A and B are shown apart, each in its own frame.
Chain A
Amino acid sequence: MRAPRTSPTCRATGLFVALLLAISPTVPVAQTDPAACVDCHQDQADQLAQTSHGRPGFAKLSSDSCITCHRDVEQHVEDPNNEQFYPRVDKLPAAETASMCQQCHSGGQQFFWASGRHETRGVSCTSCHSVHGFKSERAQLHAATASEQCFECHKDTRAETWKVSHHPIREGKMGCNDCHNPHGSMSPKMLHQTTVNEQCYQCHTEKRGPFLWDHAPVRENCMNCHNPHGSNHLKLQKTSVPFLCQQCHLNTRHPGTLYDRNTLAGQARASNRIFNRACLDCHANIHGSNHPSSPYMGH
């Protein structure tokens, strides 16, 4: 829940957790005695005590204390300084790590972990999360925020968020996980919702419609025109208006007209169809219109 900080209170709580785990009667004490673990790993116990893994709910799920996650500890106990026998979960193959965590985390956000893109390509729980050494306020991540965690790998996407038109990701007002479920989903790109548009409609409900006059590609996929990760054009447009519109509309008269530097504000052939919001100055209801006089997505 919060970043680790060792204090007397933490240490006392760590001892409490260790004792709580020690009372488990189901597994031989020789294997599970957390007091033995805490003898050497007091800091980890202190830190664990501040997290969900250190609370009574954990004991309800598992009576195996530390070896719930740290298996094959016998050799480590016999030869504690031998790195080869460190029972570190984060050094296990990805599938084994996931299997370990999925003992408890198999529902909720992790419901579709198996066959998700991350699982398939060998990303494991410990690639992002740390039980003992996390920095984030929530979700026990290696990084300070969920988005920063994603950007550890998705560098190109991070760069896109630095473009002038962007969702408030870099400002911390939303995160990658608002749209994507990194634990896996049944949707392309691991979206929470089943289609791109349904994902966008979670926040942009006013564009959900349906409208009297619909704009067909809008109803199909918002990403036909927008790049949600960032753009240097207004409103996350993939290409700036009016040229974006002209990729589909080259009709007679103004739709097919070339709008170049000659038509900019202040130029000899200045045209209000290139400056400011260009086409959208008139076709202002481009996502769909409800006005009887707006078959062209105007007012």
Chain B
Amino acid sequence: LTVGFGASLAEDPAEPASTAADFGWSIDPVVLSTIETRNTTNSAKFEEYVDRDSGFQIPLLRVTGRSSDQARQFEFTAHNVRRDDARYRLDYDLAGRWDFELDYNKIPHRFVNDGRLLWNELEPGRLAIADPLQTALQDELTLRFSSKQPINYSFLQPLLQPYLATSESIDVGLQRDRLHARLGLGSLGKFRMALDYRSENRDGTRALGGSFGFNNVTEIPEPIHYQTRDIELSGEWATHRAGVVAGYRVSKFENRVDTLVWDNPFRITDSTSATAYLGPSSSSVLGSSRGVFDLAPDNQAQTAFVQGRVRWGKHWQVNGYVQDSTMKQDDTLLPYTLNSAIDGIALDTSTFDATDPANLPIDSADAEVSMLNYGVNLSGAFGSHVDLAVRHSFNDYETLSRRTVFPGYVRFHSTWEEIPRITVPYAWEQTRSSAEVGFKVNQRVRFGVGVERNSFDRAFREIETSDEDTIHLTVDATLHKSFTFRGHVSDGEREISEYSTEAQEFSFFEPEGINNQPGLRKFDEAAREVHRWDYSLVWSPGEAFSLTAGIGRAREDYVESSFGLLGDLLTQYNAEINYMPSERLNTHVYFHRSDREVGQRGRQSAGTLSTDPLNDWFINFDERQNVWGVGLDARLSDRWTTTWYGQWTESEGYADFFSPPGGTPNKALDLPNYEDIRLRSIGTRLQCAISEAVTGQIGYAREHYTIDSFILSGLQHYLPGSLLINGNGGNYDASIVSVELAIRF
């Protein structure tokens, strides 16, 4: 159904005379499909970000319209209509005057299926266990504790098993629905204005650790009911010579369920003791009947920004920007605990009701951060052979929140810890300055050499200042029109000021004593040497053949670190060949391999910090990834086409442990399954152009996924100290058969 396109040739496009009546509409295409999905398991991984349920679907619908004078254009595109992973886009514009875009993107994120849960959701933010169950478990534990029999996994596992066997099933996952609407004015002129509105609703659940103690880790579903609203107004004036952009953005995050209260399966009545956080164990069976979690607080951010550029001569340009942001959060604080048995102890040693928020030193967080960013770039060329780029930027992150002293805190809802703590207003400044000179041998070959200094100035951290100096060389060459080579080599060194082990005490109101290894350097601020290089080439001697290949290495050595991260080495290779022997056949094959080695060192301590090297342990992580892929597109005849693809992804990791004999630990055992993952996928489509307006297609796809991960191995719903959801996000072998009909009107 395509009408219109009248030839009003003489009309000024700036003053269109079109109306809805002379709009020409077309549907091109609407794709109707039915899919049949089979999966050997109910692993959430198979549909992690997509909706592959069997049944009818509309994978694509596109409706377009144009006014007869071409000035107005409308386009609506819908993917996976009414599915969980649907996306709808709408564009409408009057050429040169204004344009409107709407993008609605639904993104599922499924974590695990068929998990088990002792709790029932009474209402959003309240997870309860039936009182008789709590009572029965508490009574059993109390009886056993009083009889001084051991309370350990061997006792607890069969105690819980009958209840877990009949517990609720739960799928853990969430849905993000993202909207972006944009109204632009003057898209073809020197002056432009834009109003952007973004929103996201995120609803569902996510696994969350809700522990009641060292031996009572409980995993619960965190209710996710987030809402984010952003609005931005910006204006731009730009010519070829100069331009300015200025704008203002407000972003507001709201958590509609910002508190989670959940029951302790082992306690129906509140109680406390100095060792209650160790329960349930032979040390204690006491603790809180409920836990409370302060979920992500509402927050808002405001940003004002100005950007500009000026060009002069044939080559020179200065770019600059200034951006000022504030981030605020002032959620009402929860009390120290819901455990009515706990008395708080103030700094003057008087006691208070720890369940009453009125006894907090502040009633709301009143947290604020100010961030100032600015930067300036100068770039240009001296003649046709030498170019220069100088860049400078500055970021200032400053926490404006006041420091608040809390006389103590409640550990795991169970025990008051009389350890006064004080909030810490972390702050940092980053200054980056760089210069690069390029030498163009000719229009197609350029060598670059550059230096950069990346400096940090931090407050309340172990290292106050650091400077990382890097020199790099680049080459970009296009030779004989068919051969492109790119290379990059860099060497960097970060030097630091004195390392302050006392920094760990900044959150303690009174010094507690150093209990982290003094030889440890936190890697994000530690001294290091960085060496990187990568080379890539593209060779395409003709339209029919191209070869792409690359190799790269990145090495970080933490040269002054005795403990913690010591080094990280990543080596990558890739190759890809595209071959199109005729217009009827297009094939490609690709390969990628990466090897990553990470080394770290630790030292095991008991109650006091160990200085004995025999207590050291070392890990060398080795992670490899191989990806092989192949694809083929063939035109079998004027009506028939087919596509085939296959990909094999394999990741293997090994954690190699070493601990010297005679210490603690005495002997370490390696982890051979430091995430061993395989994903094989194959697929084919056969397409037939039934007529000029109708195309039919049948398709088949299969995925086989396996994961062997140390961190998930042997998981059950109940393990020593842990009550877990233990859902299915693992292996699957799935196939999809689809039949499609694409129709154009």
A residues apposed to B, CB below 8 Å: 1-2, 5, 7, 9, 12-13, 16-17, 19-20, 23, 52, 54-57, 59-61, 91, 93, 95, 102-104, 106-108, 111-112, 114-115, 120-122, 137, 152-153, 155-156, 158-159, 162-164, 168, 171, 173-174, 186-188, 194-195, 198, 201, 203, 205-214, 216-217, 219-221, 224, 232-234, 239-241, 243, 246-253, 255-258, 260-262, 264-267, 270-272, 274-278, 280-285, 289-295, 298-299
Contact = CB atoms under 8 A, between A and B. Distances in A.
Interface residues of B, number: 194
B72 to A, nearest CB: 10
Given A16-B9, A173-B105, 6 more contacts: A115-B391, A159-B572, A171-B49, A186-B321, A248-B564, A278-B711
Interface in B528-577: 536, 548, 550, 552, 563-565, 572, 574, 576
B96 interface: yes
Given A274-B711, A295-B507, A265 B602 contact: no
Contact of A213 (B107, B238, B423, B594): B423
Interface string B619-662: 10101010100000000000000000001010101010101000
Interface in B383-424: 387, 389, 391, 393, 395, 397, 399, 401, 404, 406, 409-413, 421, 423-424
5 contacts: A95-B443, A168-B109, A260-B655, A276-B715, A282-B217
B522 interface: yes
A261 B710 contact: yes
Contact of B523 (A210, A232, A248, A264): A248
A111 B245 contact: yes
Contacts of A152: 548
Interface string B511-533: 00001110010111000000000
Given A102-B240, A155-B548, A211-B365, A168 B674 contact: no
A60 B14 contact: yes
A4 to B, nearest CB: 12
Contact of B209 (A265, A280, A290): A280
A20 B684 CA distance: 44
A247 B409 contact: no
A9 B5 contact: yes
B439 to A, nearest CB: 13
A257 B603 CA distance: 7
B297 A211 contact: yes
A265 B716 contact: yes
Contact of A57 (B96, B325, B335, B337): B96
B9 A155 contact: no
Contacts of B171: none
A204 to B, nearest CB: 10
Contacts of A298: 211, 412
Contact of A260 (B73, B563, B669): B669
B670 interface: yes
B217 to A, nearest CB: 5
Contacts of B71: 55-56
Nearest to B303: A198
B288 to A, nearest CB: 11
A275 B399 contact: no
Nearest to A261: B669
B307 A299 contact: no
Interface stretch (B139-147, B279-287, B366-374, B579-587): B366-374
Contact of B516 (A162, A243, A249): A249
B188 A60 contact: yes
Interface in B17-40: 26, 28
A161 to B, nearest CB: 10
B321 A284 contact: no
A217 B2 contact: no
B733 interface: no
Interface centre among B188, B325, B607 (most CB of A within 10 A): B188
A108 B517 CA distance: 51
Contacts of A294: 294, 409
Nearest to B481: A91
A224 B211 CA distance: 26
Interface stretch (B120-128, B129-137, B717-725): B717-725
Contacts of A221: 524
B271 interface: no
Interface stretch (B62-70, B161-169, B489-497): B62-70
B677 A164 contact: yes
B675 A250 contact: no
Contact of A239 (B293, B369, B598, B657): B598
Contacts of B423: 212-213
B735 to A, nearest CB: 18
